[in-house]
Amino acid sequence: MSYCEILVRGKNQAFLFERLKKHNIDIIKVKTVDENTIIIRVYKKDSEKVFAILGKTWYNKLIRLGGFYGFFSNVRKRIGFLIGAILFLLLSYFSKDIIFSVDVVGAKPKNEIYLEKNLSSFGIERFSNFNKLDINKIKESLLSDLDNVSFVTLEKSGNRLIIRLFESDNSAEINNLDSKSLIATTSGKLVRLNVYSGSAKKEVGDQVCIGEELISGKVSTDLGDYETKALGYALIESTFLYEKTFEDISYYDKASVIEEAKFNLPISEYDCIISYFIEENRLAKGIHILVKINYLVEIGG
């Protein structure tokens, strides 16, 4: 089937994908040129609707028509490259489909950390076979589990799997917007700190306690001290412990206890669980269960 490739330049690409999805336009492929420029491939039959949606909001230009005739035209133009590629594939036949590394592109801090620790839960592991991955299922899982992600692409480059996320501009609510301090709303390890205004009072890797000041509006310079709003973004890895004892072990069900622990977790819309561990201690009469849940808390925006 014939298709066309369109150069699109502009911000908020996630909103563009949402509009295309709303109008039932299938996107065959997306290639990122730079931060504000992408090339999208759509079926030729949808091209008029695509240009209508792009309108004056995004700069756009048709750069290529493809399909049956386009394929053979490219073959004639790139015969030398194709011969070299075939030789390379023959030499690397036994490892061509093996994933040696996974790169995540376009993810905000929370989603990036969550993916790094939970790739295996999406069926993605090093040294797995790319052809055996259920790409559509992985995309659906990523869209379901990650915050503010409107479009996902998975592509293989050599022996690398590249996961590219297109995230919406919706940020977490800014905490303490009108105050002179950005305060920790939980205790744990500080894993990310971005200062937009003010001065940092903690460093990444520090253990912080609830109520501690992360960013101060008081700033000291060579010209003197001044006060401003404390604006920034912090990400804290926190731990929640849940304990329960069963005198009659027949009433114990691991899955139910884990769900019960998650239900009691002091978690908000912008937090996410990254891992959990369950410890079972046999007693003289019954069993004692300890569930340890590690989760991320966003502060600021």
pLDDT, tens digit (0-9, with 9 covering 90-100), for 132-176: 888 888 888 888 887 777 778 888 887 888 888 876 554 444 444
Quick one: tokens of 110? Answer: 């929370």
Report field, pTM of the whole predicted structure over 0.75? no
Listed as ranges, residues in the chain with pLDDT below 50 are: 170-177
What was the pLDDT predicted at 68? 59
The string of DSSP codes covering 8-36 is: EE-S-HHHHHHHHHHTTPPEEEEEEEETT
Q: What pLDDT score does 106 carry?
A: 76
